[in-house]
Structure 1
Amino acid sequence: MRIGYYAHHHGSGHCRQADKLAALLPNDARAQLTVFTSLDIDSYRFTAIDEQQIIRLNAEDERPDDILAGRAGEYWQPASLHYSPVGNGDIQERSHQILDTIFHCKIDLMIIDVSVEVAMLCRAASIPYLYVRLPGIRDDAPHFGAFVGALALLAPYPKALESAQTSEWVCDKTLYLDFIYSQQAESYTYESFIDILEKLSVGGEISAPKSTSLPSIEAQLIDKSEATIPIVTVIKGYGGHKAIDEKLPELRSLLPNALIVSLGPIDDDKRCYVDISAEVDDVTPFICHSDYLMMACGLNAVAQAYNYDTPLIVVPDDRPHNEQAVMAEALVAQNKALNWQQFKTLMSVNDGQSESIAQTIHYRSKQHPTTSVDSIEKNNSEENNFEEDSGEETNAVTPTAGQVFMHSITDYPTTKLWFENWLLLRLNLTPESTIKY
């Protein structure tokens, strides 16, 4: 089947999610994927698919010549839409771009991440779609309409992190893909991590050190077991970082002797509270080897950190539908992270000792185990070892939920066959009737 993917323009996360899903396809099937987005090429460059597979859409901002504003109020705003200017030439053009491309490229199925308006456009044009369901409280009429109109909903996170406030029928119509990983993370030693910090201290933006100097840090951090200066990495994305930047002064106060590294954007007036401010292509060594990890709750960031042992402090950014707040609550409830207040309390109890805090988190996590990629891989490894002990050789690796989903859409020639023979078998809901011949 030929797949279209609509990626919202806010931040780079939606395009990155499309890129990660594309990477799960067999190489010869990636050419069958078309991405629609109004995000410009400088904001995100795809790696799994070619630029000619990207349809750069017109923006959907309001214009002075609009007849009605995007949110025109009662009696003028359709209950099924969040935003719908009338007489907007850009939206007319982008709607034409979407429908024309779907028709000429013979796209069989759309994945919408995320837009209620694009979902309704597809349903009105009789185009089947799957709707990506992000965390948060999305129980308003426009979202419910988009959910109802979809063949199914896709959740790019584990079911264990589902909000208790989500309607049962929404969960029943959802495929949980778990967190989606673009590639096998490179393995970094602690020594290589220190080398990276050294290079950043030369090439990155360095604030005036508080009570530390980088040469002495290098000397003291040769062996992590003997390190005396805690390393705190603060990871932020471009979708919003106000909430986490506001915590930097207090973080510095809590850990006056720590090496604080800020990755991603940072407000100019907050640079004085960190030792290193930088942009990096791979945050893996920082996630793996820092003493503390502090970040917001965007899906891509959480996915990267979810299965590491580094103590995680979550500071959700303000987003529509409480998207990050709900994810933070779920992570804390599953004992995968601490909120800011819990972190401050533990700092006072343990006098800032990262080892004690890590042990506290890990102990609590063991009391409430959750299914994770690590546990799945561990079980697979044990099964493989059993088979090897039985004299049967196997190199099989159990595919992830995301891989199973993406490969399924290449296994069927039509959306109808896929819907009836693969998708419906995995949902707890069925339509009242399907067309049979």
Structure 2
Amino acid sequence: MTRRPIGYYVHHHGAGHRARAGAIAAVSDWPITLLGTGVGEAGIDLPDDRPLSGRFDGVDGSEGRPAALHYAPIDHDGVRLRVARVAQWIATERPALMVVDVSVEMAMLARLASVPTICVRLNGERNDVPHLEAFRGAVALLAPFHVDLERESTPTWVRERTRYLPGITTAVAGGVPPSGRILVVIGRGGAPSNGARLAEAARACPNVQWRVIGPVSPVDDCPANLDIAGWVEDAAHAIAAADVVIGGAGDGLVGAVMAADRPFICIPEARPFGEQQATASGMARLGAAVVLENWPKAAAWPSLLARAKALPSPPRQRLHDPRGAQMAAIWLGEQAAAA
């Protein structure tokens, strides 16, 4: 019997959505088709729906937008073509299920096109009308984080409809020779990191080698123990080999750090709905990371690195499931079969 495909909508902000989709698709025995801007030959590449300004925070700022939507700009060719492309794919392929990671509007579109949906539910304060209505219209919700990181304010009915699936990652889990380096990870979803500030941190720890991966502003006087590597292909390997990892609280980085069980200093970045702050506060509460509100003064780094190394492994190990991607693939297959 031919299985109707699972559609997996991939949001284009940051790298975490694409990485999560890829990790699940790689181990699924159910056919999964990715749909999103920038997926290229890996699936259905959709027209870009971002504003002409290039700035995108998930809210269009227009007046008169229906309360059940976040982003519905008027007279945007990319949005029109995007909606038409997804609707055409649904009509042609008749998917058994649509996973939406993440978009209130795509979840509503799939539901209007008579497809059962699974909404990926990220952490943070998502009790606004658009999120709750999308959650209500879905057959189930997938949270790519441990239940212990859940916010107390999340409604009971949302929790009851949620399958918590931490560990959806292809990150390296062990067996990597230690590098002895401090690794600073800058994600794709935010602004470049301050190069001068990184140089000051490295100078405060002269006997330790620092490496920075991701976008960084220029460093005029780079100390010898600081390596500005830019984008790298082996980020997961670098994380697994690090003495201490420093970075934000995006799902991708947190998942990789927990998988590798590395000491973590987390400085959450501003994101819509307080997503990173929610995850960071949960890790702090559980003792899985040293969490800071802001980048510290250079003189604080030696003691902060020592604090991170002193944290025990069990809280980090608790937040990771080494079979996270496989469990997600099995569960989505079950949902598709039942649809």
Q: TM-score, normalised by structure 2?
A: 0.84
Q: Which residue is equivalent to 2:44? A: 55
Q: Which residue is equivalent to 1:433? A: none
Residues 93-137 of structure 1: CA deviation (Å, up to 9, x unaligned): 111100110111121110001111111112222221100011111
Does the CA contact (< 8 Å) of 2:268 and 2:293 recur in 1? no
Residues 1:81 and 1:287: Cα distance change in structure 2 (over 3 Å): same
**Among candidates 175, 194, 202, match of residue 252 of structure 1:** 202
Higher relative contact order (CA 8 A, sep 6+): 2
Residues 1:269 and 1:165: Cα distance change in structure 2 (over 3 Å): farther
Residues 1:262 and 1:130: Cα distance change in structure 2 (over 3 Å): same
CA shift at 1:404, angstroms? 3.2
Residues 1:97 and 1:307: Cα distance change in structure 2 (over 3 Å): closer
Structure 1 SS opposite 2:311: helix
Query: Counterpart amino acid of 1:266?
Result: V
Equivalent residue pairs, number: 328
Residues 1:332 and 1:344: Cα distance change in structure 2 (over 3 Å): same
Query: Counterpart amino acid of 2:330?
Result: H
Distance 2:279 2:138 in 1: 23
* 2:291 is equivalent to residue 339 of structure 1: yes
Q: Which residue is equivalent to 2:38? A: 39
Greater shift in the superposed pair: 97-106 or 402-411:
402-411
Query: Counterpart amino acid of 2:210?
Result: I
Distance 1:85 1:285 in 2: 40
Q: Which residue is equivalent to 1:14? A: 17
Give % identity: 30
Query: Counterpart amino acid of 1:404?
Result: M
Structure 2 SS opposite 1:306: helix
CA shift at 1:252, angstroms? 3.4
Distance 2:294 2:83 in 1: 47
**Among candidates 2, 5, 14, match of residue 5 of structure 2:** 2
Structure 2 SS opposite 1:268: coil
Structure 2 SS opposite 1:131: strand
Larger Rg, first or second structure (1 or 2)? 1
* 2:291 is equivalent to residue 371 of structure 1: no
- Aligned pairs for 1:246-395 (under 5 A) are 248=198, 251-252=201-202, 254-269=204-219, 272=222, 275-278=226-229, 279-340=231-292, 352=303, 357-358=307-308, 360-362=310-312, 371-373=318-320
Structure 2 SS opposite 1:182: coil
Residues 1:411 and 1:113: Cα distance change in structure 2 (over 3 Å): closer
Q: TM-score, normalised by structure 1?
A: 0.67
Distance 1:151 1:411 in 2: 12
Q: Which residue is equivalent to 2:70? A: 82
Does the CA contact (< 8 Å) of 1:71 and 1:84 recur in 2? no
Does the CA contact (< 8 Å) of 1:291 and 1:310 recur in 2? yes
CA shift at 1:287, angstroms? 2.9
CA shift at 1:250, angstroms? 5.3
Residues 1:246 and 1:176: Cα distance change in structure 2 (over 3 Å): farther
Structure 2 SS opposite 1:188: coil
Residues 248-284 of structure 1: CA deviation (Å, up to 9, x unaligned): 2553364244321101211124883661011332234
Distance 1:160 1:409 in 2: 22
Does the CA contact (< 8 Å) of 1:110 and 1:128 recur in 2? yes
Does the CA contact (< 8 Å) of 1:5 and 1:36 recur in 2? yes
Residues 1:182 and 1:300: Cα distance change in structure 2 (over 3 Å): same
Structure 2 SS opposite 1:118: helix
Structure 2 SS opposite 1:272: coil
**Among candidates 150, 154, 157, match of residue 138 of structure 2:** 150
Distance 1:182 1:250 in 2: 33
- The structure richer in helix per residue is 1
Residues 1:284 and 1:18: Cα distance change in structure 2 (over 3 Å): closer
Query: Counterpart amino acid of 2:338?
Result: W
- Aligned pairs for 1:110-259 (under 5 A) are 110-182=98-170, 185=173, 187-190=175-178, 193=179, 231-242=181-192, 248=198, 251-252=201-202, 254-259=204-209
Residues 1:372 and 1:404: Cα distance change in structure 2 (over 3 Å): same
Residues 1:270 and 1:174: Cα distance change in structure 2 (over 3 Å): farther
**Among candidates 98, 109, 123, match of residue 97 of structure 2:** 109
Residues 1:351 and 1:91: Cα distance change in structure 2 (over 3 Å): closer
Does the CA contact (< 8 Å) of 2:171 and 2:237 recur in 1? no
